[in-house]
Amino acid sequence: MLEVKGLRKEFGQLVAVKDLYFTLKPGDIFGYIGPNGAGKTTTLRMLATLLEPTSGTAILSGIDIVRQPEDARPLIGFMPDFFGLYEGITVWEYLAFFADAYGIPRSERSQVIENVLELADLTVKRDAYVETLSRGMQQRLCLAKTLLHDPLLLLLDEPASGLDPRARAELKELFKEIGAMGKIVIISSHILPELSDFCNKIGIIEKGELLLWGDVDNILRQLQPTKLLTIRCIENAETLAEWLSKQPEVINVQIADSIVKAQFIGNDEAQADLLRRIILDGHKIAAFNEAKMNLEDVFLKVTKGEVA
């Protein structure tokens, strides 16, 4: 468990991060989203014990990261947004160097390096010089390095920046695997769609303030006063469309082949009731779905102050 409790950072007059509270559990992949200067890096550096909070703390697996940073560090892996890779050494030598720095016993070192190379899909590059790797491979190498000591909490600061779509897709797969290993992963980004399909939690930060955080699905639902319903009929879609357009909580009914689309205003209870009435009225429907808003919409809505 990671419990962030009132984490705050001031730089002089500027409140870079304002009293953050959130909780994550193993397996969670948390997308930490905000525009430039929002306070993402400052938050991650505090969680990594590299920057002392003005107040507040976080408890990781029962360890207070501010009071017991020495005990917390072995549980934390931090990948900064700008990292330097050394030149003139091979991938293997690079990882061996850090394995030693992390105090991984010599007897386990080879196996540990093999494992992270495999995970990062860099086994074929083990003897290549670090500077000859592409940017995407360097990013994965840095991630491999961050995983060497098998941390519980992974802090990744804009790991996908500067990568092409293919390299991003490969990195996404890697994040999913890491989440499935039962780690707590926090990934910062200012590009929302990048995170939408593999994060189960999101938090949106602006000017140091966490505007909202939680389950991706919950947040999307919360932000969505009207939902787009998609109903697929077996027969007589026109009859259903006509019936729907008479319901007070339904607007904008549209029909295309056997699919009826309509906007619905109401909570889950009201939606369940609508579905019950559709069926009682004798309409044969094969599917009843609500469309989700994508994260980009949520982000724009939240940062425009439409959600308070």
Ligand X SMILES: Nc1ncnc2c1ncn2[C@@H]1O[C@H](COP(=O)(O)OP(=O)(O)OP(=O)(O)O)[C@@H](O)[C@H]1O
For ligand X, the binding residues (CB under 6 A) are: 11, 14, 16, 34, 36-42, 190
Q: Are 6 and 55 in contact (CB under 8 A)?
A: yes
CB of 9 to ligand X, least distance (A): 8
Distances (CA, A) of 136 to 113, 118, 267, 273, 279: 19, 15, 44, 50, 52
CB of 266 to ligand X, least distance (A): 37
Q: Which is nearer to ligand X, 139 or 149 (CB)?
A: 139
Q: How many CB atoms lie within 10 A of CB 197?
A: 11
- 34 binds, options ligand X, Mg ion, none, Cβ within 5 to 8 A by partner type: ligand X
- 112 binds, options ligand X, Mg ion, none, Cβ within 5 to 8 A by partner type: none
CB of 179 to ligand X, least distance (A): 22
CB of 37 to ligand X, least distance (A): 4
Distances (CA, A) of 159 to 43, 114, 191, 202: 15, 22, 11, 16
Q: Which is nearer to Mg ion, 95 or 205 (CB)?
A: 205
CB of 50 to ligand X, least distance (A): 11
CB of 188 to ligand X, least distance (A): 7
CB of 36 to Mg ion, least distance (A): 7
Q: Which is nearer to Mg ion, 33 or 122 (CB)?
A: 33
- 168 binds, options Mg ion, ligand X, none, Cβ within 5 to 8 A by partner type: none
Q: Which is nearer to ligand X, 47 or 113 (CB)?
A: 47
Tell me which long-range contacts 8-16 makes (C-beta under 8 A, separation of at least 24): 8/53, 8/54, 8/55, 8/56, 9/39, 9/42, 9/43, 9/46, 9/51, 9/53, 9/54, 10/54, 15/208, 16/42, 16/208
- 39 binds, options ligand X, Mg ion, none, Cβ within 5 to 8 A by partner type: ligand X
Q: Which is nearer to ligand X, 104 or 188 (CB)?
A: 188
Q: Which is nearer to ligand X, 11 or 86 (CB)?
A: 11
Q: Are 252 and 271 in contact (CB under 8 A)?
A: no
- 86 binds, options ligand X, Mg ion, none, Cβ within 5 to 8 A by partner type: none
Pairing of strands 209-215, 153-157: unpaired
Q: Which is nearer to Mg ion, 39 or 77 (CB)?
A: 39
Query: How many CA atoms lie less than 13 Å away from 182 in the CB half-sphere?
Result: 2
Q: Which residues bind Mg ion (CB under 5 A)?
A: 40-41
Q: Which is nearer to ligand X, 9 or 283 (CB)?
A: 9
Q: Are 284 and 258 in contact (CB under 8 A)?
A: no
CB of 159 to ligand X, least distance (A): 12
**Cα gap 206→218, rounded to integer Å:** 20
Question: What residue ranges in the chain does DSSP mark as E strands?
Answer: 2-11, 14-24, 29-33, 55-60, 63-64, 76-79, 153-157, 184-189, 201-206, 209-215, 226-233, 250-256, 259-265, 285-291
- 38 binds, options Mg ion, ligand X, none, Cβ within 5 to 8 A by partner type: ligand X
